[in-house]
Amino acid sequence: MKKIFGSLSLITLAIFSFAIGAAAQRRSSKPIKTPALVKSPEKTTIDKRDTLEMVFVLDTTGSMGGLIEGAKQRIWGIINEVMQKASKPRVRVGLVAYRDIGDEYVTKILPITEDLDKAYTTLMEYQAGGGGDTPENVRKALSEGVKKAGWAPSKTGLAQIVFLVGDAPPQNYAQEPDVLVTTAEAVRKNMIVNTIQCGGIVGTKEIWQTIAARGEGKYFAIAQDGGVQAISTPYDARLAELAAKVGKTYVTYGAKSKRETNDRLQSATESRITAGAPMAAQADRAVNKAVNSFQYDGDLVQDVENERIKIEDVKTEDLPEEMQKLSLPQRRKEIDKRVGERKLIRAEILALSKKRDEFIVAERKMKGQQNGFDTAVAQALKEQLLRKGIK
Q: What is the pLDDT of residues 254-274, one digit of tens each?
A: 999 999 999 999 999 999 999
What pLDDT score was predicted for residue 47? 63
Overall average pLDDT of the 77-95 stretch? 95
* Least reliable range by pLDDT among 24-28, 207-211, 357-361: 24-28
Amino acid at 256: K
Residues in Cβ contact with 127 at an 8 Å cutoff, skipping those fewer than 6 apart: 60, 65, 68
Overall average pLDDT of the 261-288 stretch? 94
Dihedral pair phi/psi, residue 61, rounded to 5°: -75, 170
Predicted confidence band of residue 105 (pLDDT cuts 50, 70, 90):
very high
CA distances from 105 to 8, 102, 129, 140, 152 (A): 77, 8, 10, 12, 27
DSSP-assigned beta bridge partners for residue 93: 54, 113
CA nearest 71: which of 381, 382, 376, 301? 376
Of the ranges 76-85, 126-135, 366-375, the best mean pLDDT one: 76-85
The angle formed by the CA atoms of residues 359, 126 and 104, to the nearest 5 degrees, is 160
Per-residue pLDDT at 381 exceeds 70:
yes
Per-residue pLDDT at 26 exceeds 70:
no
Segment 233-246, tens digit of pLDDT: 999 999 999 999 99
Instruction: Spell out the CATH class of 47-229+370-386.
Output: alpha beta
Its pTM stands at: 0.84
* Least reliable range by pLDDT among 2-16, 341-355, 377-391: 2-16
Instruction: Using a pLDDT cut of 70, give the percent of the chain over it.
Output: 88
Overall average pLDDT of the 302-319 stretch? 94
What pLDDT score was predicted for residue 296? 78
Amino acid at 267: S
Predicted confidence band of residue 15 (pLDDT cuts 50, 70, 90):
very low
Residues in Cβ contact with 316 at an 8 Å cutoff, skipping those fewer than 6 apart: 324
Per-residue pLDDT at 4 exceeds 50:
no
Cα four-point dihedral sign 115, 225, 277, 76: negative
CA dist 135 and 121 (Å) reads 28
Overall average pLDDT of the 87-110 stretch? 96
CA nearest 182: which of 199, 162, 201, 167? 162
CA distances from 136 to 132, 179, 195, 203, 242 (A): 10, 12, 15, 12, 41
Predicted confidence band of residue 38 (pLDDT cuts 50, 70, 90):
very low
Per-residue pLDDT at 23 exceeds 90:
no
What pLDDT score was predicted for residue 218? 98
When comparing pLDDT for 359 and 371, which is higher? 359
CA distances from 326 to 141, 178, 330, 390 (A): 52, 61, 6, 45
Let me know: does 66 contact 365? Beta carbons within 8 Å.
no
Per-residue pLDDT at 370 exceeds 90:
no
CATH 3.40.50.410 positions along the chain are: 47-229+370-386
User: What's the mean per-residue pLDDT of the chain?
Assistant: 88
What pLDDT score was predicted for residue 45? 36
